[in-house]
Structure 1
Amino acid sequence: MEEIEKIVRQFRDAIDVAKDADKFRGLYPFYKFPDDCCEHSCDLLGQYLLEHGIKTTQVNGAYKHNRARRHVWLITEDRIVIDITADQFIGELVSKDEVEAVHVGREGTIHKMFCCDRVFQNNTIFNDVDRYNGFGGCPDVRQKRLIDLYKIIYQEI
């Protein structure tokens, strides 16, 4: 688990560096990272982890007090929970002491709050030209955005 945490922290640090350098300007939703970035972050981090031999699945859960509100995080085949956007809830649902920018381990406070109607889904494949979903075999809008974001983040690693 220590190796996974090292890789995940490296990725989150790269996102923070890129954000501080204003490299996400105009790139929805990352210009306001970590707010509203959980699903995109899971796709991006899932790809990075896969490149390091770690397969993950996304967990999409509804908030127990308002099921219209959702949060997404990753889980490994060994049931290790990985979340790099839980800190978006500091001051709203949790205190700074209850959550951290990088979570690797068992379910934390946030994950227990988003416990309803959980859906497990595969990460979006955005970097395989044989799996592009857009017109004429090109990346669709979401894939293109993920490709652009991944390039920016990867440059900071």
Structure 2
Amino acid sequence: MIRRIYELSSFFRSVIEDAVIDRNLTVTPFLSYPRGCCDMGSELLAQYLFENNIETEMINGTSKMDNSHHVWLCTKDEITIDITADQFNGQEGMPSNIEPIIVGNEAPIHKIFSYERIIEKPICLMHPIYQDVDWTNVRECKLCEAYHILLDKYL
């Protein structure tokens, strides 16, 4: 299962990177991927994994060092999935050489964000369960737009 999740996550990250390079994914905040993209990137990955029969929850953790946040996914079997952790490479107080894709046990970077963790259910972005999307919420509309760009051109 870990190998399959890694392969799907790796492919999905490469799709995001290609879409950014091609200037097709210009939805904020993706132009600086992976920096600042952990929330929306995790939400999009959760949808992709869901469509591949892997259910996840989003973990939103806070760092005691500076109250910064980081978001990643976790399965019910406690498999950690993170496609944006490397955004912290080179930052003071963070581990060095953070892998771009983490699938498995929590990595040292996740332990930094262990203060006040919130577990959230991802939003379902696809038909026929669109009722989960709040069309008055700008963030949710951006998520739908981004996912459909990836779906139409890359997936």
> What TM-score does the superposition give when structure 2 sets the normalisation length?
0.89
Residue in structure 2 matched with residue 17 of structure 1 by the alignment? 18
For residue 42 of structure 1, report the CA deviation from its aligned partner. 1.1
Q: Equivalent residues in 2 for 1:5-154 (5 A)?
A: 5-25=6-26, 27-67=27-67, 69-92=68-91, 93-96=94-97, 99-127=98-126, 128-134=129-135, 140-154=137-151
For the 8 Å contact 1:57–1:121, the answer to whether it is kept is yes
Q: Using the aligned pairs only, state the percent identity.
A: 35
For the 8 Å contact 2:123–2:132, the answer to whether it is kept is no
For residue 115 of structure 1, report the CA deviation from its aligned partner. 1.0
For the 8 Å contact 1:125–1:143, the answer to whether it is kept is no
> What TM-score does the superposition give when structure 1 sets the normalisation length?
0.88
For the 8 Å contact 1:87–1:101, the answer to whether it is kept is yes
Residue in structure 2 matched with residue 156 of structure 1 by the alignment? 154
Q: Is 35-44 or 125-134 further displaced after alignment?
A: 125-134
Aligned residues: 149
For residue 119 of structure 1, report the CA deviation from its aligned partner. 0.8
Q: Aligned partners of 2:33, 2:125: CA distance in 1, in Å?
A: 20
Supply the RMSD in Å over aligned alpha carbons: 1.4
Gaps spanning 5+ residues in structure 2: where? none
For the 8 Å contact 2:62–2:114, the answer to whether it is kept is yes
Q: Aligned partners of 1:101, 1:61: CA distance in 2, in Å?
A: 18
Letter in 2 for 1:104: V
Q: Aligned partners of 1:35, 1:43: CA distance in 2, in Å?
A: 15
For residue 9 of structure 1, report the CA deviation from its aligned partner. 0.6
For residue 60 of structure 1, report the CA deviation from its aligned partner. 0.7
SS of aligned partner of 2:103: strand
